[in-house]
Structure 1
Amino acid sequence: MVSIAYPRNVAAYSPKYAAIFNIRKNPEFHDALGVFSWQAERVLTRAFQRFEILEHGITLWSHKETYKVSLVEEQVNDALEKYQEKYGDPIDYSEYFYPVIEELHFGQSLEMRLEMQYFITAKAIYEYVSNFKDKPSQENFNQFRTIANLITTSIEFMSLELRKDQISIEAITENARKAGKAKQSHYEKAGTIAAVNQLLEEEKEMLNQWGGKAKLIRLIFEKINNDEISAPDVPSEKAVKHWIKQFQENMKSTN
């Protein structure tokens, strides 16, 4: 028997990512994913491999380096943090048909967002299958909706990539971007952000004072806690800082 030693710089066989890539070998993989198991394997492959279409439609696959997958993971973590700052809650992938392309678009290139789509799906598959035996059936059923959505979307983009149908990919992402821009956070729906912006407009001189921003943050929390500003819940400090940053950027653009 010949054993193949894969270099450590190959992501699929690195200590950091091997468990995700090899989740397809887990005994629970097919039971957990059912009819989606074959498609899930394809997404796992795409998350850790790149392809090049040669002449006569021949597709050449090659492994991604660990550092390249790490760059994608960094973009994913950054986008998830920005989403939570903007909307106050972690993203629920089951709420959107194109959750990554639609909701985690924070200036990344189209190519990077597709890589994020595949990585997020691969990691979600890993977490779902790994915990499948230990979770109650209802919780697994609810999570399966999310997994199925992520897999289906990933397969759609993979098919378009293999056909080199860049026009369709761009059309989907543009429509998703418009849908994402139209979405309101629960703080926007409650009028919290509008009230905060009004307060910032009244007290904007404080933004130029030493320690003024910290005072404004405390004032915003005080008014929310005293119900002077309506809010569905108490936002995080990161969210409030994000609102102030957006207010300042809007001020610059109108001057």
Structure 2
Amino acid sequence: MLKVHSLVKSFSVDAGEVRAVDELSFLVPKQEVYGLLGPNGAGKTTTLRMILGLLDPDQGYAEVEGIRTAQDPIAVKSRLGFVSASDGVYPWLSVREMLLYFADLYAVDPDVAHRRAEELSGMMGIEKLLDRRAGTLSTGQRQRVTLVRGLIHDPPVMLLDEPTRGLDVVGVQTIFEYIDHLRDVGKAVVVCTHRLDEAERLCDRFGLLHQGRLQYEGTMGELRAATHREHLVDMFVDLMSTATA
């Protein structure tokens, strides 16, 4: 479903050049939740932006259902759903108007869009909010709207960038249930987060990024065998200690 091959991205800074993503490769099949994990500055968000076509890689490529982002970015975007910590709701539109607006951007048939808006809103418990102006919603309600918006065009691949940042316990549990739903309906899911305790609960397989490079990859059992550590936090402490030694 999603293939990332040898992605490289560097940025110019005052001190010279920083390689934010360094020969990064991974695959995510359907019905898998892949945790692309690392501390701030590890290269997670830069990687997502290249997959989405918002940044051009210096080398390598990202591919969704066999289509490379650089070759047909519109086709790739139509196959991707994206959810981030920034909700980006349009405050003057009602929830229903906003969902239908985004469905129209993805060329979803109007009848299908209305049906999906109702079905997804029921799943996320926001059906009573559909005709409320988005600017009146609480933080948790806006986050649920954002989750529905990400699925309105039924994309095969979902990208979630720090989806639990700023949420309370109830909001975090909503994210967990949402990701379980994505897996159940056959989506390929990438979760980028530095909340490693949450990642252990959410993900089927993991890619551990440090300074733009994929240091370890595998299931939790495979990572424990490779690092001789029980938890992701301890694995990253070792990685960062080695890098600064």
Normalized per residue, the structure richer in strand is 2
Q: Same fold (TM over 0.5)?
A: no
Which one scores higher on RCO, CA 8 angstroms, separation ≥ 6?
Answer: 2
Task: Find the structure with the greater CA-based Rg.
Answer: 1
Normalized per residue, the structure richer in helix is 1
Shorter-chain TM-score: which interval? Answer: under 0.3
